[in-house]
Structures are given as C-alpha cells and as structure tokens.
Structure 1
Amino acid sequence: MSELFDAVDALVASRSPLPPPEERRRLRKAHGLTVEEVAAALKVRRATVSGWEAGKTEPRPPERDAYARLLNKLAELYPASLTPPQDTGAPETSPGTPTPVPDARTEATGRTADATRTARTEGGAAPRPAVPARTRDTAVPSAAASAASAARPPRTPGPTSTSRRPAVKNPAPAGTPVTGTDARFENGPLAVVDVDADGQVLAYCVGGLVLDVPAKSLPSLVDWTLREARLGQPKLSGSGKDADPLLVLTEAACERYGLPATLSEDERLAGRLPEGHKVVKQLLRAEWKLTKRGFGPWARIYRPAQGSERACVQLCIPSWHALDARHWGDAAQLPPADLARLLGTYAARVITPRGSTAVTGLELMTALHPPTRASEPDEAGRRHSEHNPGSLGKDPVDPAPCEAPDGHPILKDLPRFHRRTPAEVLFEEAYDWARPLTDDECMRQFLVGIDVNMAFAAGANGLTVGLGAPTHVTRPAFDPKLPGSWLVDLSHVDLSRVKLGKEWVHLHGDLLPSPFTPTGDRPEGPAWYATPTVAYAVELGYDVAPTEGYVRHENGRYLDAWYSRLRDAYVHTMADLGVPADASPEEFLAAMDGYRERDPELAIVVSAIKATVKGGIGKLRERPRGERWKPGQPWRALSRPTWRPDIRAAVISRTRVNMHRKIVRHAAFTGQYPVAILSDCAVYAADGPSPLDFLPYRDGKPLPGGWRLGVSPGMVKHEGTQTVLWGEGVREQFEAPELNLARYIKTGEVTPHDNGE
C-alpha cells in the first residue's frame, strides 16, 4: 500500500505548478536550508538550484517532481501570510528583556544602538523576540526544523540584540580559524553595509550575523563601528597591532551616506574623491582624518592614536573597483551576505584585507614581524619601544647600486639614457623561455603543461634574506649561507655535464634553459646574481669566483611565518573545495577537475590567496605609481622599510632555481626535456594527455627531488593539454619557431596581440 501512496504523491507532484522563483527562495530560507543542502538532496549541482531560484531555468523530471514535493511541504510549514511585520522603529521587548537606556550616542530617531528589536529571518519566517545582548539563542525549533537541520553545523550562538541571523550558505567553511573569541571583536573582522527594501541600513557580518545600523552619516557610521559594532581582528604577533575593522559599502550604502555609486573618470584617474567633496568635509568637521591617499576605493579613516588605543576604520568600496576582478573574480557583484562570507574567510585565514591583494600581502609580512616591540622595564619600571629582532625595522634602508631599479636616487649620477649591462644591474626574474621541438617530440601526440602551486611562496619557504643594509666587499669568498648580490662569471657552467648529489651525469644541455637568466640564454660574462643563483652553480659542480659583492650580515628567515600562513590558507581552502592534501596522484587530478564549480566563492578565495603571494613579493620593489615623479627623485614606496628589492630578487632567484633543479632531475631520469617554461608553468611533449603520461611515478611514489602532483606549495597540478599539431601550427602561423607555448597551453587561444604583433 505504501508503494501506491508514493506513486500517488509522485503523480500529484509531477502536475503541481511550481511557485514563482522568489517564493522558492523564501521557502528555502524560511526553513534554514542552504542551496548546497537542497542540491545535495536532489542530486543536482548548486548552480542548478540557484538557477531555479533566480528564474533563469526551470526544473525537469525527475528532479522537478522531488523539487515540487519539497516546496509543497515547506509551503505548509511557512504560509506566505507569515511575513515579518513592518518595522516602525519602536523598540519591542519580550518578558525578561531589560529596557534599553538611551545614552549620548543615541541617533536622532530616538533609537539606541542597543535597542532590543524584533529579529527577523531574511526568508520571511515568523518573527521571534530578540534575545538580550551576548546571550544564547534559546528559541526551540519545531520537530520538522530539527530533523532538517540535524546534518548542518550548529549556528554560532550569541547574536546581539540589534542583530538578525538569516540563513546563509556555509557560513564557516571547515578549517577556518575561529573568530570572535576576543570579546572586543565578537562580530568578526568585517561587515558588508547595505540598505534593504525598507530603507534600513544593515551590516552583514561573518557567520550570517546581520546588525541593524543606526548611523545616519558617514562620520556617525565610523563612530558606531568603533563603539558598538565589535568588529576587528586580534593581532597576529605578540608585538603587533590588532587589525582595524573593515566596512565594505555596497552601491546602496554609498548613496545612503552621500558617496557616488561609481567614480567619475577624473576621480578614477586620481584614485580618490576631491578634497572638496561634501563627505570628505563631513569627516574633517567631525575631526576624522584620511591618509595621504585620500578617500579612494580603499579609504582609511582615523584619529591620532591615544597611547596604545587606535581609532581607525578601513573602508572598501567594490563599485569603485576596490576588488580587482583579476584576483577577486565577480566578488563585487555578490549579495552582501555572500560577500561577507567570502571576505570573512579570507580575513580569518590570511588577514583582514587592507587594500589590493599586493598591499595585503605586504601588510601581512609586517603584521607577522612588527618593526618594534616593548622593551623590558627600566629601573623606573617604564617600558619603551625598541627594535624587534627578526624584523626589517622601522626605518628604510638603501639598496646596493646593482639592486636599485632605473631611476632610483642613488643612480642619479648615471648618464641620461644609459642602459645598464648585466655587470651593472641585478636581473633576477621568472622564466620566459621556449625552444623548437625535436623530431622525436614532433612524433608525440600531446603537449602537456604542469604548473607549480604557489611557486613564489615555496621559493620563500626557509629562505635566508637580509634584514639590514648591505656591506660592499671585493674579491669575496662565496658563502651560500650569506644573502646578498654577487658579481660573478657563470658562463663556464656546462649543462651537458652536471653533478646530481655526488655523481656527474650527462644531459642534452642544448635542450635545457640556463638557470642563470630569465630568458634561459647562457650568460656571456660577469653578471650580478642573488645568493640562491650562485649557490646553484656550486651545487651543479662548478667553482665560482665573485669579484665583488654586496652582502647582508644581519639576516634571517623573515618570510617563514608569511609562507606558513599563506600555505595553510591555500591548503585548507582547497580542502574545502574537495582537494585534500593526502590524495594520490590519480585522486588529486580527479579532484582538481571542476573544483571551482563546487563553491565559486571559495574558489575566489583561492585566487585571492595566490594573488596575495605574487603581489606581496612584487610590492617589495614597487615602482612609482599614480604620482608625479622624475628619474633621480624618490617616490613614496621608498619610505617603507618593506621596500626591499634584494628580498624580491632572492625569492625569484630561488623559485627559478627550484624549477630548474626539478627539470634536471626529470631529464636525468627520463630523458625528457621541457619545450617551454613561463614563470611557474612547464610544458612537455607526451604520448598521452595527462601529466601521469610523462611523470615517473612508481607504486604511487614520485621521482625524489622531481615533479610531484599534489596541492601543497611546490607540488604541481595539470595546467592544460593541447596537441603537438596545435603547437606547431601556432608557431607556423605567427612565424615564430620559439613562441612560448606555455603562455597558451591552458586554453589554446592565441591572438596576434598575445604574440606582440
């Protein structure tokens, strides 16, 4: 009989009209279900359910029948008549709730920031009284709701009396460090400020928490953030500073607080609002200050610190292009709750964003190694600020002349238009090298690209770098443990005969790039190199005799903590996307297939983490940007202790050497050589389309010291596969026999513009 009932239910569901898309979303949220949970129950993709709720697509049998049945059940539990009451602004109380007492921060509406209001769910569920501040939510769910939520993680307890907690998807991805353990920052590091259909300003925080914002002006919003919102992030180092709270303003919030939704062309070029803008004047009248960069996409609003107390709020305005689409994808178009989740995950695992990913990468270095610390008490029991060992200090240092880029003040005496030679300038850059295919490689079917995960982070791991100013030496004995720049002739190194460990091996040196130049060309005479490059020449079995050097006796592994935090952030986020660190090579390749579609927002976090690595390293040698500058004059970046081109050079040198070491070991073991290398991507000719068709795994174990498939930094993933015929055709089309195919291996698309035409 039960089978007959099931058949009848299915028949009814198959003919039942579906509610409109907005009602589908309301019903799901009313029951506290995420898109992922519905998709898992119906055995469809998350994007499919999102399309149904957006009205872009309609379900088809057999999923339609099950979806209709779900919606019908939810409609019985949550009739459309149970909608939240309109907020009149009057405070509501429940038995046992204390009556709020107005204070000096009460807004003109007569409401206090701690007024107890009715908490509502975004989906329109029946209202329930809000609980007093910092108490647990003790509302008892229905039996049906309890059963549906049994498999979901418990909600974060403790919403404030001015908060609501709508159902949001995966508010806390697995492996995210716990935020809110510090009572000062119990609502997380940041909030996305938006205005709802009723005109109420809302602050969407991490974990799904939503705060009512009473502020009527931007100065009062800053004041509310510092006094009431409990936003921020604890310091990452004992001698560091807590992260300032971050407010992300949507277009609606910009308009509410008198800011343009988008910048004009002149404002965009200037990177800021004009000083005479009414909002800037409001801030100045309220005795708030802006940094020298003014009110731009990333604005910092502050008052001078009083002792150890800071009063600073960071603003991020996505509609002003604060979130670069190259690194943050479509984050700027996300709904407020989803954007708070994305940025909150990044903040918890990396650091609260403080600008571009490059700026944030640099700020992370300083946060982990602050320049100063408190001293031990003196005889009077007083402490003072002193240098923090292992940091770069608080004062900038000049680079060695060979390390300085063109236009630096220490090069002002060079003749105008002088082109420096390798014997005058340190030129450590990533690979851009390619060669023609051999006859044997032309007989193979595929070109397979592999890409090193977080290559520059891996290059920074364990690297000893200079912490202070350089010391000039002549005719020095090379010391591989001493960071610096060395003038040495490496043209005698012959790649056809190199040392691997204690044994000499013979290779086809003409099929290998030189490890000493970014172009892969063999050096022609003396040139400046960073320590890792010269040390690799010694490792390959050749003597070196520097004629000059700039070395740094004060040194340390400054980037180790930076690497560790970014590595953990990357590995944990990839695990959340279904790519575990302990997967076998076959499992890893399968897990990487389509991983971005499993959770597009977490995939954006991965992109931002990788951009933080590359951008942070690049910022160590930042050039003049957006400022009036003439060669020979200083530019803004030179005033930072973290302007260190020598550290950047050392990281890039080590990254390039790491790649070459794996290439040599692979060639010695398999007789296979790369046909193209671009930065952290290498391309090989193979008989099959998979990396496993040319990587020498035996019983699941890789070649020691060679390429290894996996998610950890320094391991490789599949970048892309094209045919050998494609590669030869592209080179013939552009009449470029050494066109770098690694640049196009991912998509196979090549345009004349890409080729420099």
Structure 2
Amino acid sequence: MATEEELFARVDALLEEEPHLPPPTERARLREAAGITQARLAAAMKTSTQSVKNWENGRSEPKEPRLSAYRRLLDGWAAKHPVQGVPAAPLPEAPATAPRREALATFTRPAAPGTMVPETAAATVPAALTVPAVAEWSVTSPATSRRPATWKAAAPTADPRFPHGPLAVLDGEGSAYGVDGIVLDCPARTIPELVEWTLKESGLGAPKLHRNGKDSDPLIVLTAAAAVKLGLPERLEGHEQRRSLRLPADHPVVKQVAKAKWQLTQRGFGPWARIYRKAQAGQRQCVQFAVLSWDALDERSWPGVADMEPADIARVLGVYATRVITPRGSTAVSGLELMTALRPPTRAVQDRATGNWVSGHNPGSFGTDPMDPAPPEATAEHPVVVNSGWTGGFLNEEAYQWVRDVDLLSDEECTLPHAVGLDLNTAFLAAAARLVVGLSAPDHFHAPGFNPKIPGSWLVDLSHIELDPRLPSPFTPDGSRPTGPAWYQTHTVAYAQELGYNVHPIEAYLRRESGAYLDPWHDRLKTAYVDTLADLGVTKDLDDRQFLAAMERHKQADPAMAAVLAAIKATVKGGVGKLRERPQGKSYKQGERWPALERPTWRPDIRAAVISKARVNMHRKLSNMARMTGMFPLAVLSDCVVYPSPGESPLDFLPYAASGKPQPGGFRLGPTPGLAKLEGVQTMLWAVDLMEQGLNPARYIKGGDAVLDEGE
C-alpha cells in the first residue's frame, strides 16, 4: 500500500503538469460570449492577434506563462457563460483534434505532382473559395452531403506535413525558435547535419500558395552564435560588398556540404544560401539559410529585427511568411518569388496521345522561358539594343521627382505657415490592381491607331499638350513638358486621351496576349498590409482624425509588427524594381547577357506599366485637388506630395463634403493602398528655402534634414 509521502508526491507531480485547455471551438465560443475581440484578448495576453486565432482553430497552443493565464481566463468565462442546459463546471481536457483535421485534409491536402485527383466532395467547393491558406473550413460529411462547404473567416488550418511552421531561428545553444512560441531542440553540429535535421525531423516548411505551385522550402535563420558553432565565420571578408558576399570554394563548410553530397546554388554560401539535392519521387530536398551576422536582414527592410531575441525574430519572419511568403532572400527577391508562387509557370496536363500527365503551360503565367523586351523597353546595355544598333530612344516611365518653380508661388501661398507632406500607402501596389499587362512577345507596328486596352509601348508626340505649370506634367518623371516624340507606356498615352487630347502614335511595340498577371500578387500583399496595420491599431473603421492619431503611435504599439509592415512595403517596391534588374559587378561588359535576363520575370515593360499607372494616378489626384480646392503642390517625390497649408494637419486642407465625408477624386486619408497618410510637417519658410536651392521638400519633409545630396 502506498505511503502518504508517495501519494503526495504523485499529487504534486499532477499539479505541476501543464493545465489543460478546452477544445479550440469552445475557446472561441467563450470569448465571443464575453464580447471580447481577438485583438483585445491578444493585447491582454501580450501576444499577436494571429496567435489568438491559432489558439482558437487548433493550430497552436499557448506556452507558459500565457498557458496558465489563458486557462484562468477561460475558467472564469466558463463560469459566467456555460453551455445552454449544462451547469458550469471546470473545463475538461481538450479532445484529440485529429479526426477534424483529417476531414479538413479531404479538402485541402494537395495532390502529388503529375497525379489526377479523383472526383470527391472537394469538387463541389466553389472555385472562388479555393484560395490558399486564408480561412478555416466548416464542412459536412462528404458521404452525406453535396452542399458546398461554408466559409468562416479564421486563421489557416495547419498543414500536417509542417506542424512547426515555415521557419526557425537557431541560437548557439541548439534551440530552434519557431512561430507561436515553439522551441525545438536541434542537435546538429555541422551544416550537413542541420540540413538533414531540418528535412527529416524539424517539421518545418509551408504549403504551396497555388495548386499548381510548389511547397516553400523550410528556412533556418542562424544567429551569430549559431553560425560560429556550425563552423561559419561570424562576419564575412569584404563585408561592404554585400551583393557578392559568399564563402570561398575551399572553406571547410563548403567542403562539408559537397562531401555529404549536397549542392549549393550558383550564388554559393552567402547571407542567403540554398542547399539542396535533386528531388526524389517528386519531393523537394532543399533548405534555405539566412545568416543574421552577414546582414541577411537588411536594416532598411527589416528595421531592428536582426538585433531582436531569437523568439522575436521568429515571430516577425513567421508573420511575414504566413501573410506574404517564406523569405527567400531580400524583400525584393521575395516580392518577385511571390509573383511566381501565385502564378506558377506550369501545370499538369494530360497528353491526348498517350494519356500520361505531363508538365504544360499554366494559362495567365509567363511560362518557363525568358522573353526579350522590345528595344525601347530594354536598357542601353541589353543585347537586344547593342546587337541591333538601336538608337530610337527608350521608355522613361519613372516615378515623380518634381519641384514647382519658386517663381510660380503666389503671395498667398508664401504667407501660409506650414508645409504638409502626404504619403500614398504602397502606391505601386495600388497601381498593380487590375493592371492588364502583356503575356506574349511584343510585335512591331507602324502608325497604329491607339487602343488604351492594349499593353505596350507607343512612340507619340505629346509636346503640344499644355497644362497648368503649377502642376507637374503627367508625361515625364521630372514634370517638365515633353519636347517632341517619345516612347510611353499605354497608361500614359491613355491619360493624354482622358485629358481630351488627340494622340497619333508613330510606332508601337504591342502584345497580343494580355492579362491581369499581378492581381493575385496585389491581393495577397494588400491583405497583408491592411491586416498588419490593423494589428498595430490602425483599422478601417477609424475616422480621419482617429486614423491620424493611430498612425502617429502605430510603430510604438508593437515594434515587431511594425517591422513586418516595413518588410511588406519593401516587398512591393523591391518586387517591382526586380522586374528590370540591371547587371552587377565591375567585370560586366555592355551587350553581354546577365543572370537576371534568364528569368521569365525579367519584364521591364511591366515595371514601366506599374510606374506609369502610379504616376498617372498621382497626377489625377493633383488635378482634382486643384479643381476642388484651388491648391497646388510644392513638390512631389514618387508617392509623397507636399502642400502649403494653413495648419499642421492634412485635415486643414483636404476637401470634405458638407456631410463631413471626403470628396471623391482627391487625396483621402486611410489605411488601404492608394489612400494617404501624414508624412511630415515643416514650416513653409523651410520648404521655400529648399526649393530655392533646387532641393525637393518631399524628400526631407519627414525628418527636416536637408543636408543629404539630392541624388542620394
């Protein structure tokens, strides 16, 4: 018979066990019954809204000390809000969720490449609802109902193949920090061992974003201590030349990788490295690495992240991976990769002759082969230009860098006390919405009739168009009036027509096949941007005054989420910029092909289309503002515009109707792409002084420091 001491020891052991939580659905019911939002609960628990969503759909569980606090809260709610007809009692242990997840897998588990999916209940799900990883399914049994699954806004269902999320941050003690507070023990002592552990034991990775795409490779982020422990240098030689950083081929770690029969990509082992073997049985064998002490996370795109603790770094990168894509390099690289992930170049098609499933072109994508641009769309060093001897000029579709002539300032404007800067939220992203671009190679035409629905490049003379000199010309980046025929993208020429002028193209390079290639890219990044701002307290339901107040403090609300927001914005600009990546390195010679040209996504014409539409959108707002308010800008720099103002707030000069609602057509405040926020406030005297020096106030309005060279 057990002694009292033994019994007490066993009881103490039970007391020390982690407290059990109710089933995920009951957690959500209790919170809703209490009238508490997920965001408010997240704030109380000092965690993210996404974590609360994960707790309530069974994707993850809180860790101590949040676990005990969450259990206490749920116990309290259970006492106040019992299930109807059931007396309040301590909450039971959560039942296994495997059957429910298995039911979900019927709808969400991807088929192996090259296999035909049998027709099941999944075929009855409306096509519009098959978007990847944005909601949780509430389904009826496939055997008893053919009704479509119902849509419930919630966090994505965890993929059983990747139970620990998309990535982990490894410290020098062998702890790998994942998303939602997960900490894994990593016994690896070398890079090859770490690759094996990641692929076979870690449970890391992320499902594909499109049914015809590929799963995201797991990402391992190495802290400085982890890098040194694995035999890597803490810093790399020639650190200032970040683009070309990599370990030499004779470095011991590179030799270890080769000896273990793994391969490195052509960029070698640098700040971002990819180690792989050829796929076996359709399964990729690839791990990505990011070395923090080698500046893998650029401070401009990931402010403050490299200096965070490993768990916080995992949180930042994990949110980005969930909302955007698992990072695969710089934010620019990730932005470009996201385009391909959402528009895969190939899909499985059945060969009519043999009946076999083979790889075929995915409609709406660029395919797998690179496409040469038309000469005016290329750059001066491009082989298309050099080999043809092209001298006909190039597209100059760039963002605004314009300052109004000081002599055109009125006395009334000069007596206003303030200069207020407005910044358009992710203006390039807003321009990408419903943007029709070319999907086929360009064809050459002489004296074509202009069609605003055809994407391409047009040689046309717009110099006869005379507009108000207090506004920048919509046709040139510096805002000056065109002096003769020049190449323009379709949107620019269409805007000339919109302004009431006839256009007569002399020549054109047009694309017969077209489509809204960037739409899914726009939609995913817009959702990521809006959701991240909401996590920082900037929501769509705020009025303009509340919005300005929320934006003033949003970065302090949660530095980690503020870093995610910065990375999302950098992904937009960088992704658009990568569409026309120039050659790098001192050894490059004009006329040679460079690596970026081998990508189907090297598309300078699409970059030009995005920028052209963004610049036209800006000019349209400037014109409407002048018409509605009689106010003209002092300067424009890309997506930032500076106005003279009687007060320190945009509310002092933006147009509002008598009802208090913003007037359509002008600048409007708000948290979505294309709407505006306050960029900065300075004195009018400050702005005029810069303008007299030939400097752009829009460049410095945020900080007021004008000592930088204008070209920087």
CA drift of 1:626 comes to 3.8
Q: Paired residue for 1:743, among 691, 696, 699?
A: 699
Q: Paired residue for 2:216, among 211, 227, 243?
A: 243
Q: Paired residue for 1:613, among 552, 565, 572?
A: 572
Name 1:671's counterpart in structure 2. Answer: 630
- CA distance in 2 between counterparts of 1:378 and 1:666 reads 59
Name 1:726's counterpart in structure 2. Answer: 686
Distance change >3 Å, CA 344–CA 203, structure 1 → 2: same
Assess if the C-alpha contact under 8 Å between 1:251 and 1:319 holds in 2. yes
- CA distance in 2 between counterparts of 1:450 and 1:434 reads 15
Residues 1:211 and 2:184 aligned together:
yes
The amino acid of 1:207's aligned partner reads D
Q: Paired residue for 1:557, among 488, 499, 516?
A: 516
Distance change >3 Å, CA 756–CA 454, structure 1 → 2: closer
CA drift of 1:256 comes to 1.4
Residues 1:428 and 2:397 aligned together:
yes
CA drift of 1:515 comes to 0.1
- Cα RMSD for the two superposed structures: 3.3
Aligned residues: 596
Q: Paired residue for 1:346, among 320, 328, 337?
A: 320
In the TM superposition, what whole-angstrom CA distance separates every residue of 1:131-190 from its partner, at most 9, and x where no partner exists? Answer: xxx9999999998884368799x999999xxxxxxxxxxxxxxx9974661111110000
- CA distance in 2 between counterparts of 1:425 and 1:235 reads 38
- CA distance in 1 between counterparts of 2:323 and 2:42 reads 27
Assess if the C-alpha contact under 8 Å between 2:696 and 2:710 holds in 1. no
Distance change >3 Å, CA 135–CA 562, structure 1 → 2: closer
CA drift of 1:467 comes to 1.0
In the TM superposition, what whole-angstrom CA distance separates every residue of 1:238-277 from its partner, at most 9, and x where no partner exists? Answer: 1000000000011111111111111122795641000111
Q: Paired residue for 1:641, among 594, 600, 609?
A: 600
Q: Paired residue for 1:702, among 638, 643, 662?
A: 662
Assess if the C-alpha contact under 8 Å between 2:336 and 2:578 holds in 1. yes
Assess if the C-alpha contact under 8 Å between 1:585 and 1:700 holds in 2. no
Q: Kindly report which structure 2 residues correspond to 1:177-326, keeping only aligned pairs within 5 A, or say none.
A: 178=155, 181-196=158-173, 201-265=174-238, 270-326=244-300
Name 2:501's counterpart in structure 1. Answer: 542
Distance change >3 Å, CA 268–CA 151, structure 1 → 2: farther
Q: Paired residue for 1:474, among 429, 437, 446?
A: 446
Q: Kindly report which structure 2 residues correspond to 1:457-472, keeping only aligned pairs within 5 A, or say none.
A: 457-472=429-444
Assess if the C-alpha contact under 8 Å between 1:180 and 1:188 holds in 2. no
Assess if the C-alpha contact under 8 Å between 1:188 and 1:230 holds in 2. yes
Assess if the C-alpha contact under 8 Å between 2:332 and 2:575 holds in 1. yes
Name 1:61's counterpart in structure 2. Answer: none
CA drift of 1:494 comes to 2.2
Residues 1:368 and 2:342 aligned together:
yes
The amino acid of 1:547's aligned partner reads I
Name 2:72's counterpart in structure 1. Answer: 147
- CA distance in 2 between counterparts of 1:359 and 1:709 reads 30
Unaligned runs of 5+ in 1: 1-28, 31-35, 47-133, 160-174, 496-508
- CA distance in 2 between counterparts of 1:560 and 1:135 reads 31
Assess if the C-alpha contact under 8 Å between 1:177 and 1:348 holds in 2. no
CA drift of 1:380 comes to 3.9
CA drift of 1:723 comes to 0.8
In the TM superposition, what whole-angstrom CA distance separates every residue of 1:113-147 from its partner, at most 9, and x where no partner exists? Answer: xxxxxxxxxxxxxxxxxxxxx99999999988843
Assess if the C-alpha contact under 8 Å between 1:179 and 1:188 holds in 2. no
Name 1:127's counterpart in structure 2. Answer: none
Distance change >3 Å, CA 138–CA 460, structure 1 → 2: closer
Assess if the C-alpha contact under 8 Å between 2:235 and 2:294 holds in 1. yes
- CA distance in 1 between counterparts of 2:447 and 2:272 reads 49
- CA distance in 2 between counterparts of 1:144 and 1:637 reads 52
Structure with the greater alpha carbon radius of gyration: 1
- CA distance in 1 between counterparts of 2:667 and 2:624 reads 9
Residues 1:570 and 2:544 aligned together:
no
In the TM superposition, what whole-angstrom CA distance separates every residue of 1:351-391 from its partner, at most 9, and x where no partner exists? Answer: 00000000000000000001111003545431011111000
Aligned with 2:300: secondary structure? helix
- CA distance in 2 between counterparts of 1:393 and 1:142 reads 48
Assess if the C-alpha contact under 8 Å between 2:462 and 2:484 holds in 1. yes
Assess if the C-alpha contact under 8 Å between 1:156 and 1:207 holds in 2. no
Name 1:717's counterpart in structure 2. Answer: 677
- CA distance in 1 between counterparts of 2:443 and 2:484 reads 24
Assess if the C-alpha contact under 8 Å between 2:63 and 2:181 holds in 1. no
In the TM superposition, what whole-angstrom CA distance separates every residue of 1:583-603 from its partner, at most 9, and x where no partner exists? Answer: 211111111111100000100
TM-score normalised by L of structure 1: 0.74
Aligned with 1:750: secondary structure? coil
CA drift of 1:329 comes to 0.8
In the TM superposition, what whole-angstrom CA distance separates every residue of 1:551-576 from its partner, at most 9, and x where no partner exists? Answer: 01111000000000000000000000
- CA distance in 1 between counterparts of 2:64 and 2:686 reads 63
TM-score normalised by L of structure 2: 0.79
Distance change >3 Å, CA 268–CA 707, structure 1 → 2: closer
- CA distance in 1 between counterparts of 2:478 and 2:65 reads 67
- CA distance in 2 between counterparts of 1:342 and 1:386 reads 37
Unaligned runs of 5+ in 2: 1-17, 20-38, 48-58, 78-90, 98-151
- When structure 1 is superposed on structure 2, of 644-653 and 251-260 the one drifting more is 251-260
Distance change >3 Å, CA 297–CA 143, structure 1 → 2: closer
In the TM superposition, what whole-angstrom CA distance separates every residue of 1:213-258 from its partner, at most 9, and x where no partner exists? Answer: 1222210110111111111111001100000000001111111111
- CA distance in 1 between counterparts of 2:352 and 2:260 reads 39
Q: Kindly report which structure 2 residues correspond to 1:617-628, keeping only aligned pairs within 5 A, or say none.
A: 617-626=576-585, 628=587
Residue identity over aligned pairs, in percent, reads: 56
Distance change >3 Å, CA 277–CA 567, structure 1 → 2: same
Assess if the C-alpha contact under 8 Å between 1:358 and 1:616 holds in 2. yes
Residues 1:520 and 2:479 aligned together:
yes
- When structure 1 is superposed on structure 2, of 207-216 and 338-347 the one drifting more is 207-216
Distance change >3 Å, CA 471–CA 140, structure 1 → 2: closer
In the TM superposition, what whole-angstrom CA distance separates every residue of 1:273-298 from its partner, at most 9, and x where no partner exists? Answer: 00111011011011000000000000
- CA distance in 2 between counterparts of 1:683 and 1:633 reads 42
CA drift of 1:711 comes to 0.5
The amino acid of 2:250's aligned partner reads G
In the TM superposition, what whole-angstrom CA distance separates every residue of 1:25-59 from its partner, at most 9, and x where no partner exists? Answer: xxxx99xxxxx9999889xx99xxxxxxxxxxxxx
Assess if the C-alpha contact under 8 Å between 1:272 and 1:296 holds in 2. yes
- CA distance in 2 between counterparts of 1:641 and 1:577 reads 37
Assess if the C-alpha contact under 8 Å between 1:475 and 1:546 holds in 2. yes
Distance change >3 Å, CA 385–CA 750, structure 1 → 2: same
The amino acid of 1:262's aligned partner reads R
Name 2:13's counterpart in structure 1. Answer: none
Residues 1:448 and 2:420 aligned together:
yes
The amino acid of 1:438's aligned partner reads S
Assess if the C-alpha contact under 8 Å between 2:690 and 2:696 holds in 1. no
- CA distance in 1 between counterparts of 2:252 and 2:516 reads 48
Distance change >3 Å, CA 388–CA 156, structure 1 → 2: farther
Distance change >3 Å, CA 448–CA 156, structure 1 → 2: farther
In the TM superposition, what whole-angstrom CA distance separates every residue of 1:588-628 from its partner, at most 9, and x where no partner exists? Answer: 11111111000001000000000000000000000012473
Name 2:376's counterpart in structure 1. Answer: 402
